[in-house]
Amino acid sequence: MITVGDVGVFHDGGGVSQYHFNQLPNIKFNEERHYYQGADSFDHFLNSVHAIKIASFHVPFPDQSDWMVRLKQCYEHVDHVFVFCSELHCATAEQLKRIDKPKICIYVNGIFKQPFDHAKVYPWMDWFSQPLHYYKEINPTLLEQKLQHGPKRMMFDVLLGAQRDHRDFAYFFIRASLNVDLYYTTYYHRIDQPLLQSGFDMDEDGLEIISNGTLNHSIDRVNYYGHELGISQVIPTKIYNQTNYSLIAETNAENDFNFYTEKVTKPLMAGRLFVVLAGMNYLRNLRTFGFKTFDSIIDESYDAEPNPDKRWSMAMQQCEWLCQQDPEVILEQVKPIVDHNKNLIFTHDWYGEVSRLLESELLPYVE
């Protein structure tokens, strides 16, 4: 274990970045001696006389800009800047592009189309780690107990969530399809309504609303078999047991970046074939993490199509094709692929990987 010397670390962003520093395997910071926590300590940090100064930020969401003001103010006075971004949306992606400077490392839950010129950008797959924690560490036998094997009557679960253009596309495509009865579709449209009033499907054994808790968004907390977690992290086993495959309508469908959320993590953990409505090259970039997709079974050329409407139409046509196939045959064909994906998502140390990357960048300043 490395003992840290005269280093001052400013942690902006509600304790998230200091959590990452405290998880490092071989570097131990002393919070009282090394840390400046929160915006209230910013001036004290700038005026301190540490031999080494480091600033660390967690990008807030929804869109806020105060953190960028503080980054700009301290940039010339620090040796290195670390930025963590778990919510990659248009606004936060644009903010990250604006801090493409030397001596900045960015850890982001996704992949950008264009590489940065100066900042180092590392994948921090937080939405792989978050849903995985419960099913790997807390209740590791639950999925095997609850998921039923073999063909189901319906073909696709289509859990669309709040309104987005690509979700509208899927919704109206399915409504016009001759196979509409083969899709288990929910679409609650309104992000400004409480989930209980919006049509959000919460029929899952073991799921309880926390007393006096709010349930307005899918990130809000519930009790699941006695453990508190975000409702978006709960795998909908009742729905999966009625359907063979998943249509994933990701949070974002931008071509400039891919943002990977629990929407893909859950089918990966449950061992399901999926078709994706997202941005260009979502599948290609997912494969860079070691996952396999289904191009040996369906036509995944939609992933490389730059025109959004055409890409989503091509993807939906693959859903329609699968609706006409014998699910027993398809499920047998996909088994080696989904078994590989389940093994990878459960056995890879997603958080340990980013922690080691962070440590490697810190070592020159603390040794």
324/327 Cα distance (integer angstroms): 9
183/243 Cα distance (integer angstroms): 8
pLDDT at 190: 66
**What would the two tokens of residue 142 be?**
């639950």
Lowest mean pLDDT among 164-173, 197-206, 273-282: 197-206
pTM of the model: 0.94
Tens digit of each residue's pLDDT (9 = 90 or more) over 76-130: 999 999 999 999 999 999 999 999 999 999 999 999 999 999 999 999 999 999 9
Sorted by where each starts, the structural domains of the chain and their CATH numbers stand as: 2-124 (no CATH), 129-348 (3.40.50)
- Pure H helices in 48-121: 66-74, 90-98
Average pLDDT, integer, range 134-149: 97
Confidence of residue 178 (pLDDT cuts 50, 70, 90): very high
Tens digit of each residue's pLDDT (9 = 90 or more) over 200-209: 677 799 999 8
Residue written as token pair 């009557």: 153
The kind and range of the H/E element at 122 are strand 120-123
Residue 355 forms beta bridges with which residues? none
Asked if 231 contacts 208 with a C-beta cutoff of 8 angstroms, the reply is: no
Give the orientation angle of helix 262-270 with respect to helix 126-133, to 10 degrees. 50
The kind and range of the H/E element at 82 are strand 80-85
Q: What is the DSSP string of 172-189?
A: HHHHTSTTGGGEEEE--B
Name the residue among 298, 251, 247 with its Cα closest to residue 274.
247
Q: Give 128's contacts (C-beta < 8 A, 6+ positions apart).
A: 260, 265, 345, 350
Q: Which residue has the higher pLDDT, 187 or 319?
A: 319
Q: Name the average pLDDT for the chain.
A: 94
Tens digit of each residue's pLDDT (9 = 90 or more) over 210-257: 866 667 677 788 999 999 999 899 999 999 999 999 999 999 999 999
Average pLDDT, integer, range 139-164: 96
pLDDT at 225: 95
